[in-house]
A and B are shown apart, each in its own frame.
Chain A
Amino acid sequence: MAGITLTDLSFSYPSGQFRLHVDHLSVPAGSAFGLLGPSGTGKTTLLRLMAGLLPPERGQITLGTTDLTTLTEAQRRAFRLSQVGLVFQDFALLDYLTVAENILLPQRFTGTDATPTARTLAERLEIDRHWHQPTSQLSQGERQRVAIARALAHEPRFLFADEPTASLDTGRRDLVMDLLFECAARTSASLVIVTHDAALLPRFPQHARVEDWVP
């Protein structure tokens, strides 16, 4: 089953101060890939390109059998909603919603019910006791786990996580990484994780340093 493939990908911001070029990158389905590098090297930009949040200047981004560069903005959005799971660096939770509402937010708009999966995830991530609590009342670590649960609740085929363990202690960091890897393996999803934590390096079967792709 096809995973994520980047071919001859180029991107630059309008200011022209940042350029990125990837000749070829392939993440097989059900496999995990680590994007490493110090802050400001373009890890998040590459992740957003892979997730279809940014359009490249040139090249091809293929998720499964879908070439994102051939899709319209609306088609990319619909694809993300059903196929992609995203964990943002700042969690991007809606503070006026409860844990349950945040986790199930994308499903509300697709009209699907992912409550059982979301419940199981919440239990695994030890946030189930906050199920009906607004996320504004949670700690940073708990908020991050809610963001992870939201990304996994619809069992996406492609999972992109930006520093998913940044706010967690070592114990919870391993728990979250286990969960991400397990979900990816169970659903044969391709997992891409951006991190600056070198300690996580041994967990990735494949990894790359983004600065290698910045000319």
Chain B
Amino acid sequence: MIAAAFHLARCYVARHRAQSLLLAAALALVVALPLCLKVLAHAVEKVMRTRAQSTPLLLGPRGSALDLMLKALYFKRQALPELSAQHLREIRATALAEAIPLDARFHAQGAPIIGTQLEYFAFRHLQVAEGRMITRLGDCVLGARVARERGLAPGGSLFSSQEQVFDMAGVYPLKMRVTGVLAPSGTADDDAVFVDLKTAWLISGAAHGHDDVAAQADTVLKQETANTVANASVRMYHEVTDKNLNTFHFHGAEDSYPLSAILVLPRDAKAEALLAGRYLKDSLPVQLIRPRDVFESLMSTLFQVERLVFIVLGVTLTAALAISALVFALSFRLRSREFRTLSDLGISPAALRLTRALEITLITTTAVLLALLLTWAVQSQAETWVRWLLG
């Protein structure tokens, strides 16, 4: 009886495959939504937790601690005020902590350019997989995904993006030499372009290189006591080469140069407490945050939102199941003549009930399989999507 009922159910579902698949797909979506949400929330947690926990302290401009963390740890585009390099010097002067500067204001082919110092690579355990580390101004090493997705390799080059298209006097793109590609780390570092901090300042316009004005009298506009003012014909360099390297120079005091944030690695717990106390005052233009605390606060909010979404999805799922039950009931009612015929032929009500149950089972099984397939697809891409969302 089971085989016959299954055959009948299978034939019906197969013959009406478009309608059955539509119903199964609708059910699958409703079932998959909470699963996918859970997967994405887990991916967010996975992507963010390790990095937040491995970063003891972070100094940045006062404001949203979350925005600061997203910018400095996950290189998310955030319009935050800058802090001056003076803070870097001050922290180093305390001898309480190691300080690693970060300048994350610029981009190249959509990837963030991170101006930092070599300590950053040691701190994040980043290894050069191909080529070599940055050695001079204008060099860059690429995160693994940036290199792979953009087809870049050591020996190649890439331009920094013009951040303000309509600002003719603003920052001009710098052609950077790719010296190396980092090994994949599974973190935001895979999606970044790393340059020396001075290269970042060069991109910002704090430094520049140009023809020797003293050697070309026709480029001099005005000669002042301490300065030579050149006219527009002087050739500015947009690429650092071995030949023009010495022409690059900085203007102004280094203390005034901008930074996005400073990773602060205190020597011990006491040093951490001392530093935290030092930056407690609200009147200071900077704040010192513990990324792990910010992360836990974020996750706590996220879980609250998740719970709320689950309640909504639970109601949606109940409504979808009720509608599906109605669809099945109406379908069976429309087919009452068919079931009466089967009954007239002598087929038992139990066999007919089994046939109907198997039809429902076939469709719901298809729905569950589709939901699992969808969840699997989301799971396989979850971390990529989360990084994309963060970036």
Residues of A at the B interface (CB closer than 8 Å) are 53, 74, 77-82, 84, 86, 88, 92, 94-97, 101, 105-106, 108-109, 111, 134
Contacts and interface: CB of A to CB of B under 8 A. Distances in A.
Contacts of B16: 96
Contact of A82 (B7, B15, B342, B346): B346
A86 B346 CA distance: 10
A134 B8 CA distance: 13
A100 to B, nearest CB: 11
Contacts of A97: 8, 11, 15
Q: Is the interface of B mostly helix, strand, loop or mixed?
A: helix
Contacts of B4: 108-109, 111
Given A81-B346, A94-B8, A108-B8, 10 more contacts: A84-B346, A86-B344, A92-B337, A92-B338, A97-B11, A101-B7, A105-B345, A106-B346, A106-B347, A111-B4
Contact of A53 (B3, B8, B344, B351): B344
Contact of A81 (B7, B15, B338, B345): B345
Interface residues of B, number: 20
Interface string B339-367: 00111111110010000000000000000
B347 A81 contact: yes
Nearest to B13: A96
B7 A108 contact: yes
Contacts of B8: 94, 97, 105, 108
B1 A77 contact: no
B388 interface: no
Nearest to B15: A96
Contacts of A86: 344-345
B12 interface: yes
B363 to A, nearest CB: 15
A80 B351 contact: no
Contacts of B338: 92, 94
Contact of B1 (A80, A101, A109): A109
Contacts of B1: 109
B29 to A, nearest CB: 26
Interface in B104-154: none
A81 B16 CA distance: 28
A194 B3 CA distance: 35
Given A92-B341, A108-B4, A109-B1, A77 B15 contact: no
